[in-house]
Amino acid sequence: MRRIALFPGSFDPLTLGHLDLIERLSALYDEVVVGVMSNPAKKPYLEDEERLRSIERSVEHLANVRVALSHGATVDLARQCGAQVMVRGLRSVTDFEYETVLAAGYRYMAPETLFLPARAECGAISSSMVRDIHSVGGDVAKLVPQPVMEALARRDARKEK
C-alpha cells in the first residue's frame, strides 16, 4: 500500500518554511499531496491559480509531490487523495494549541493528524509575515521560494495598472 500524506494549508503565499516541510515529507512518504485550500469567505493575497502554479513550480524537483487546489473541506480532500495522514507544521506552542484542537475535531472524520515541527531557521516565517512585509514594499526574497517571488511581482504589476 502506498503511503500518502496530505499537507493542507492556504499557502498564501508558500514560504520557505512550508517548502522545508514538504521536502522533509517527500523523504518520508511515497506521495505527498500539497492541498491548497481555498476559502471563499476570505480575500486571498495571491489568487488560487497563482498560488497553485507558484507551489507547483516550487516543488517540481520533488517527483513524489503533487499539488491539488480544493474549495471544499480538508477531510474531503484527504479522502479524495487516499491520504493515510494529514500533516500539520508547528512553529510554536501557539500553533500546537490551535492544531491539536483541529486534530481532535478531525479525529472521527479524517485520517490521523501528524505534527511536524519547523526547523529553528524557519520557525519565525509565516505567510502573514510575508504578506505584511511585502504589502509595504519590503524584500521577502529570503522568506519565499523564487516562483513565489515571481508571483508576487506579477501581483504588484497588476496592482500598478
To the query of whether residue 134 is one of the catalytic residues in this protein, the response is: no
To the query of whether residue 42 is one of the catalytic residues in this protein, the response is: yes
To the query of whether residue 58 is one of the catalytic residues in this protein, the response is: no
Q: Kindly state the average pLDDT of the residues 138-142.
A: 97
Beta strands in the chain (DSSP E): 4-9, 31-37, 65-70, 85-90, 112-117
Please tell me the distance from the alpha carbon of residue 4 to that of residue 13, in angstroms, as a whole number: 24
User: Residue 114 is placed in which grid cell?
Assistant: 501528524
Task: Given the residues 57, 91, 154, 155, select the one marked as catalytic.
Answer: 91
Tell me: pLDDT of 69 over 70. yes
To the query of whether residue 18 is one of the catalytic residues in this protein, the response is: yes
The tens digit of pLDDT for each residue in 75-132 reads: 999 999 999 999 998 887 777 776 776 776 677 666 788 889 899 898 889 999 999 9
pTM of the predicted model as reported, rounded to 2 decimal places: 0.91
